[in-house]
Amino acid sequence: MSADLSTLRLLQLASPAMPVGAYSFSQGLEHAAEAGWIGDEARTGDWILGLAQDALGTLDLPVLQRLHAAWTASDLATVERWNLQLLASRETAELRAEERHLGQALAKVLVALGIEAAGRWLRQDACYATLFSFAAVRGHIGARECSQAYLWAWAENQTLAALKLLPLGQSAGQRILDRILVEIPSLCERAAALDDEDLGVATPRHAMASAWHETQYSRLFRS
């Protein structure tokens, strides 16, 4: 029963029904569509998978795993250090604003679910990965499962954003997700093997797309 409950907690945490507002942001995808960098299923899949490999897989996931370990050890100083480092690693004002929004929104949800310890993060900058890993530890969810769910939730949100922006059907969206799904276990394993000095991103077009989206004339997503 305990293992079943942990699995269900993980599904709840990664669900698009979790009211954190992730659907409001495209993380530069909207400008990539406007600029013609993506437009069909293949290029959209390349964009999302490329970010999974060279941004989330080399920054978000390894930091998430370090946060999970720190929460498990009740090491709040280390939690705060990685939280601030992840926020400082966001390359644009838009990405930093999204990070703060998602982190605070998840903290509010956790408080509403009776996890009062999340309340302190309503009074300071909180990254989404910080609260996601906290919720995972409280739900007795392991680091591997936490990482896989985090990456899946991000990929699903990016794919849903692409379906709103581009003339892609639901079947194309599922093929994109299936393409990423098979890579998730290896990306999480690779992230776990990275040393601190290896963390970072190698996605300059993503940063440019996010920066240019801040002044894009017509937008569906928040900036």
Q: Is residue 100, in this structure, part of any structural domain at all?
A: yes
Q: Is residue 8, in this structure, part of any structural domain at all?
A: no
**What is the reported pTM?**
0.97
Q: Is residue 78, in this structure, part of any structural domain at all?
A: yes
* pLDDT value of position 70: 98
Q: Is residue 17, in this structure, part of any structural domain at all?
A: no
Q: Is residue 9, in this structure, part of any structural domain at all?
A: no
Q: Is residue 63, in this structure, part of any structural domain at all?
A: yes
* pLDDT value of position 114: 96
* pLDDT value of position 2: 83
Identify the domain containing residue 79 by its residue range: 24-213
Give the count of domains, the chain.
1
Would you give per-residue pLDDT tens digits along the chain (223 residues)?
588 999 999 999 999 989 999 999 999 999 999 999 999 999 999 999 999 999 999 999 999 999 999 999 999 999 999 999 999 999 999 999 999 999 999 999 999 999 999 999 999 999 999 999 999 999 999 999 999 999 999 999 999 999 999 999 999 999 999 999 999 999 999 999 999 999 999 999 999 999 999 999 989 999 8
Q: Is residue 140, in this structure, part of any structural domain at all?
A: yes
Tell me the CATH number at 192: 1.10.4190.10
* pLDDT value of position 189: 98
Q: Is residue 222, in this structure, part of any structural domain at all?
A: no
Helix locations, the chain, DSSP H: 2-14, 29-34, 41-51, 61-72, 76-88, 93-112, 128-138, 143-165, 170-181, 184-192, 204-213
* pLDDT value of position 116: 95
CB 139 within 8 A of CB 13: yes
- CA–CA distance from 211 to each of 92, 173, 182, 214 (Å)? 6, 26, 31, 6
